[in-house]
Structure 1
Amino acid sequence: MILLCPPGVYRAQSDTAVLADHLARHAAGRDVLDLGTGSGALTLAAWRSGAASVTGVDLSRRSVLTTRLNCRLRGAAVRVHRGDLFSPVRGGRFGLIVANPPYVPSETAVLPRHTAGRCWDAGPDGRAVLDRICAGAADHLTPDGRVLLVHSAVCGAEETIDRFAATGLRAEVVERARIPFGPVMRSRAALLERRGLIPPGERREDLVVVKARRA
């Protein structure tokens, strides 16, 4: 699916495709929340998969406008809100929450707000946004709801599982996909080596899809 994607908006890549495949198995008939919608790839994937309703959220005004336009061009009846993760849907409950959040380890804990780096920078361990999603998801799930999120194994799949468990959700890795480093990860390879997040010379990573639901 070819989407409009202006500068500063996350362009769907391998991680989006891996997550979209799992989303298609779970979205039908469910109210779906897409956190960090970017260009709207997962929002549209949920709509195409027969979701009962789809809500996209992004902190970036440009991403919100891009998703709205991409959905309008395809006749997709979805809601798109600008805001920080769950804040625009406070009190809402969803049968499926999906997220492809920023997860690339960065130099500092200060996250960019107005540059392209906000699409991938996620603090020293890459978990600045991941941990917030893990902490808040349970409060926005229906009793039979589930969460699907994708990130690099560099950030620690077991840590994600443990974070979900702390909120009463049972989580597991449902897919691993080994891919070459993209441009951002390649540019950070020396940093990742210094921090012990990858072995010397490693230039491939495992993407993991984690599924969580109530225990």
Structure 2
Amino acid sequence: MLLRLPGVYRPQHDTQLLADVLAAEPLGPHSRVLDLCAGTGALSVCAAAAGADRVTAVDVSRRAAISIRLNALVGGHRIRVIHGDLIEKVREERFDVVVSNPPYVPALADAVPDRGPARAWDAGKNGRALLDRICCQAPDVLVAGGVLLLAQSSLSGVEKTLTMLEEQNMRVDIAATAEIPFGPVLVERRGMLERRGLIEVGQTREEIVVIRAVK
């Protein structure tokens, strides 16, 4: 059970799917893992529990940063926590694995919230406000042969993610998928998503995808 302050994203199906893929990576004492948009630090804890003793968790939310520190302390894990925007504060470092479960829900507007609960899921009209930036930035902090593990919804353009990473000379494949019922946010936005043609009329489930890209 992970601790979280109010407003911090609660780990759900996508987090577990990504954690399962991360657990299959050959992490060891010298593995350097970067968790972007870390939330409660669930994936950082997973990496540390799998044997990586050089884990860095980054989140733009101060409440998330506090939650990660609490969960690292409770679990007895050594996790470096950075309050910041994606790779901004680790540009000069290199990692063996970058893992991220960013906000990816299509929203009413392109402006990304800078506070409030919706900050944890709203990602612009096409759901790609964070995905596009991660595709461009993550390869810069990976070692040769390093791995990016990225979760997203099929509503947010999986093919675009694959194409962007391939353009960064990454070897890309789909590591895992799961079909899950719409959560409260997508249920509320179903009409908007139907009007935009992002879902079929009456659709009630979405596909979550974990992309694995090797530098």
The interval holding the TM-score normalised by the smaller chain is over 0.9
Structure 1 outlier segments of 4+, above 2 Å: none
More displaced stretch, 22-31 vs 175-184:
22-31
TM-score (norm 1): 0.97
1:24 aligns with 2:23: yes
Moved more, 167-176 or 10-19: 167-176
- The count of aligned residue pairs is 213
Looking at structure 2, the residues matched to 171 and 191 of structure 1 have their Cα atoms a distance apart, in angstroms, of 31
- Tell me the distance in 1 between the aligned counterparts of 2:167 and 2:158: 15
Residue ranges of structure 1 left out of the alignment (5+ in a row): none
Root-mean-square deviation over aligned CA pairs: 0.9
Kept in 2, the 8 Å contact 1:193–1:200? The answer is yes
Q: Distance in 1 between the 2:88 and 2:48 partners?
A: 22
Partner of 2:135: 134
Is the Cα–Cα contact under 8 Å of residues 27 and 51 in structure 1 kept in the other structure? no
User: Residue 154 of structure 1 contacts residue 197 of structure 1 at CA under 8 Å; is this kept in 2?
Assistant: yes
Structure-2 separation of matches of 1:208 and 1:50: 25
Give the whole-Å Cα distance in 2 for the aligned partners of 1:173 and 1:191: 28
Query: What does residue 79 of structure 1 align with?
Result: 80
Deviations 1:101-138 (A, max 9, x none): 00000001111111110100000010110000000111
Paired AA for residue 16 in structure 2 = A
In 2, Cα distance between the equivalents of 1:27 and 1:56? 19
| 2:56 is equivalent to residue 55 of structure 1 | yes
- Which residue does the alignment assign to 1:155? 156
Alignment partners' CA distance in 1, 2:16 and 2:88: 26
TM-score, normalised by the number of residues in structure 2: 0.97
SS at match of 1:151: strand
Q: After TM superposition, give the deviation of residue 90 of structure 1 in Å.
A: 1.3
Contact preservation (8 Å) 2:136, 2:164 = yes
Distance 1:135 1:162, change over 3 A: same
2:137 and 2:167 map into 1 onto residues whose CA distance is 11
Partner deviation per Cα, 1:183-202 (whole Å, 9 max, x = no partner): 11111111111111001110
- Partner residue of 2:4? 5
Q: Alpha-carbon deviation of 1:52?
A: 3.7
Question: Which moved further from structure 2: 22-31 or 142-151?
Answer: 22-31
The SS at the match of 1:89 is coil
Secondary structure class of the residue paired with 1:54? strand
Q: Percent identity?
A: 47
